[in-house]
Amino acid sequence: MEEQIIRTEYSEVMQKSYIDYAMSVIISRALPDVRDGLKPVQRRTLYDMYELGIRYDRPYRKCARIVGDTMGKYHPHGDSSIYEALVVMAQEFKKGQVLVDGHGNFGSIEGDGAAAMRYTEARLEKITQEVFLSDLDKDVVDFVPNFDETEKEPSVLPVRIPNLLVNGSDGIAVGMATSIPPHNLGEVIDASIAYMENGDITTEELMNYVQGPDFPTGGIVVNKEDLADIYRQGTGKIKIRGKVEIEQDKGGKSRLVITQIPYPMIGANIGKFLNDVCALVESKKTTDIVDISNQSSKEGIRIVLELKRNADVDNLISLLYKKTRLEDTFGVNMLAVADGRPQTLGLKEIIRHHVDFRFEIAGRKYETLLRKEREKKEIQEGLIRAVDVIDVIIEILRGSKNIAQAKECLITGKTEGIRFRTKSSQKIANGLHFTERQASAILEMRLYRLIGLEIDTLQKEHRETLKKIAWYEDILNNYETMAGVIKEDLMAIKKEYARPRKTSVIQAEEIIYEEKEPQELPLVVLIDRFSYMKSMDPSVYERNKEAADTESRYILRCMSTDKVALFTDTGRVHAVKAKDIPYGKFRDKGVPADNVSNYDSTAEQMIYAAPMEELKSSLLLFVTGQGMCKLTQGSEFDVQKRTIAATKLAEGDKLSSVQKYDGQGQVVLRTREEVFLKFSAQEIPKMKRAAVGVRGIRLDKDDQVTEAYLLLPGTDVTVDNGEKTVALNRLKLAKRDGKGVRHRK
């Protein structure tokens, strides 16, 4: 085959390919269809279960069988996505209406995953079979080829309720995402009926029926006034609070019991909530909680907070709403595939699309039923006529050479080649003009149908068929009649499957939490060489002073309302609130600085620490590895951010030393090659923290400053230099930016 080279702009090829990919993800995987409220993987899984006969009144089947069959026939995108969709449809804490009846471990509300598909079993729920999958045999939806064109699958399921609202949906596509909350089945059905009765109904009027989301976890929606805008535009934020009950025990103590949680809290966020409550206790945000336990079970959520006597219960509840996920937001983005493309839809638009779909499937259903009844009518009329001339028909059958000849005579009246007993019988046969369907039915008719009672039954069936034909024609030709049939069906579904609302919808005031002023107490903060931090009462430190001084790298005295500044070799300074540092006994291990600040022990090294209050009135001397020096006012580091740049560093440079400077003395810089340079600290200029500084020493290639010493008047300082010592006071005083003197080891 001759090679063909197509020259085109690369960007155009990439653009087209990416758009094709994005649309495939959007339409075929990530977003639900507004008509049945299902994503393709959900639709295919339910249809496959229906095809396999895994009905609600039959035994469970292994999920591995369902997943494998679905993947092999309809959804070739991996077994994990199919099983995950199957599991979610069986979890009552995620869906407003469970669609799959799961048997086995299908996970828990606390985030435990489902067991492997080889262990679990499933079958369809009754509502799924009767409301989602019924009438598939009545040509109500189009069937399309599967991925390899070996099977047919429905393009959409004939769902008879607005499932997109009832069960909600969430999914991330390319460049867009959907997040639709679940709603109460009965309310959604009432809204659909109201729309059918008045197509001009407003969103606000629909909300007389749909109060708001109805989450399976309950909770309280507290921004009722915002719901109208959310349902009109299809986007917004819903604020949800958990339900908290107050119980009293016999001893006069109170306990808070959380019986319902916000929908976004399900999964790992329940554990995070418990940790957040513990953190509030540890950080002394509240002293009213003495114990917390999670007593949740299959019966429901029950998280118990034991309180001390005379606790301020109302303020504590406000604290929980304010500082934990007991109050959370659900971001609404009602994006779905409508008319073949993704659209953000409001409440009315979703109901309109579904009602239009109901009329479409109802029209196709009754057209199919009407066609079948007309065929039945045709056959019945033929059989009734045949009874009147049954003797002639018997003569035709006995006188014909084969069935084709007899059938032709019944249809056209052609009698050539057929033997008759009498000319009158032949004359009657010449006048027969049955249709082909009637002729086939006559030839297949059994003799017992000639019994008088059977003939009466046939005539009765014919009258019933005529009634059905008239009824179906009335439904198809009159909007009001069809609307009445759909309403009646919706009311029957509501009567059998609707459940009371779980989520309350109110308009509540913004939570006001009166944070008590922290008590100002003196602390001693200890930081060891591994950057572990702990704080304690000064009296505890004094009793253990010798051991503390030996084991600690930094010993800082500050107040509980102060911050501790941690300077690192990367030129950053991290601020740690003293109250966030674990307070306790001297032998407590403490916590890594990483846990209470943005400090990263794997990427930086702490070179200096000091109380922030102490730094405000101090000058700090900065020296870098490349010999840059400057003085900076300590107050520049007292900012609200947890981490800021302490100094600007040149490329490849690191901070070697930070220390307080009281305005006098001399500086000695020491390098890796044991070069020492001593000069007056007065030569170092004061600069802002964003400045690089000035050069303090001229370094040889590959050399760098490792230490900086401040010599105060009247002090003698010596440092080890191998086996020798160097008296820094005796070094010759030079000028800044000099070469220094090398001292060999």
Q: Give the catalytic positions in this structure.
A: 119
CB contact burial 461-480 (16+ within 10 A = b; e otherwise): ebeebeebbebbeebeeeee
The letter for the amino acid at 338 is A
| CA–CA distance, 674 with 720 (Å, rounded to integer) | 11
DSSP 510: P
591: Cα within 13 Å, side-chain hemisphere: 15
One-letter-per-residue 3-state SS of 251-284: CCCEEEEEEECCHHHCCHHHHHHHHHHHHHHHCC
Q: Which helix (H) or strand (E) holds 711?
A: strand 705-711
- Please work out, in degrees rounded to the nearest 5, the angle formed at the alpha carbon of residue 35 by the alpha carbons of 341 and 186: 140
Whether the CB-CB separation of 121 and 136 falls below 8 Å is answered with no
Half-sphere exposure of 248 (CA within 13 A, CB side): 4
Query: Which residue, 304, 302, 307, is CA-closest to 253?
Result: 307
Which residues are within 8 A (CB) of 267 and not within 5 positions of it... i.e. 6 or more apart?
109, 110, 111
- Specify the amino acid at residue 156: V
CB 327 within 8 A of CB 241: yes
Contact present, 420 and 430 (Cβ < 8 Å):
no
Strand residues in 44-203 grouped as ranges (E): 61-62, 100-103, 121-124, 143-145, 152-154, 169-172, 177-180
The greatest distance separating any two alpha carbons of the chain, rounded to the nearest whole angstrom, comes to: 151
d(CA 109, CA 126): 23
Q: Are 357 and 142 in contact (CB under 8 A)?
A: no
Nearest residue to 296 (alpha-carbon basis) of 326, 328, 271, 330: 271
Nearest to 120 by CA among 42, 62, 54, 60: 62
Cβ-contact 350, 164 below 8 angstroms: yes
Strands 220-221 and 504-505: parallel
DSSP 28: I
> How many angstroms separate the CA atoms of 231 and 202, rounded?
11
Residue of 326, 303, 96, 346 lying closest to 222 (CA atoms)? 326
Distance of alpha carbon 131 from alpha carbon 496, whole angstroms = 11
User: By the 8 A CB rule, do 213 and 506 touch?
Assistant: no
